[in-house]
Amino acid sequence: MVEYKLTTPLKEEDVRKLSIEDVVYVSGIIYTARDMAHRRFIELAEKGQKPPVQMDGAVIYHAGPVVRKLDGEWEVVSAGPTTSSRMNRVTPTLLKYYTIRMIIGKGGMSREVADALKERGAVYCHYTGGAAVLAAKCVKRVVKVEWLDLGVPEALWVLEVEDFGPLIVTMDAQGNSLYEKLELEVSKRVRGMLRR
């Protein structure tokens, strides 16, 4: 369990050195994206068009923030992670089109995503489920919002964060998944418990 502080945009060597169980704090710019934004990212790439944000070394956060407007400025009230497995199907395609270096969410992702992360040089990090105000506290500023037509939670929020974390690396760029490792251990233990 090594602790790292990383700054965006992330470089390939920043994330290749990370292993499962490491703790990371990210500073810089992150993008929130849920189901709908994923779909739009892919549609744009397929049409050969560019998204409205810089994607080289990007950090994607699976979250739909609660926001309010104060004196014309957006403010993030809460920004906990959403369940990442909903994005399992589209993520390998997203990683093919863009050089995303880190995905943040809760609950982990599939083996297909783990393989894609390894191939492209990216990691998946877990953020504590429900820790919404803790997350919001790390958000220094809403830089801008795109795709508001998708609705507030599904829009692409560009957030400037400082020491966003603790993030736990649960799927690293070597293809390891902490979820798979723990699942094996848990099922072995439970089998033992029921046999008694």
Report the residue number, 53 or 134, with the smaller CB distance to other proteins: 134
For the CA atoms of 175, 138, 140, 106, what is the dihedral angle to 10 degrees? Answer: 40
Would you call 47 exposed, middle or buried from its count of C-beta atoms within 10 A (0-12, 13-18, 19+)? exposed
Report the residue number, 51 or 105, with the smaller CB distance to ligand SF4: 105
CA 29 to chain centre: 12
Binding characters for ligand SF4, 109-128, by CB under 6 A (x = yes): --------------------
Determine whether 38 is an active site residue. Answer: yes
Among the listed residues 2, 46, 56, 130, the single contact to ligand SF4 using CB under 6 A: 130
Among the listed residues 12, 21, 115, 146, the single contact to other proteins using CB under 8 A: 21
Strand partners, 105: 126
Residue 194: CB minimum distance to other proteins, A: 6
Q: Is 34 in the site for other proteins (CB under 8 A)?
A: no
Which residue's entry shows tokens 């739009």? Answer: 40
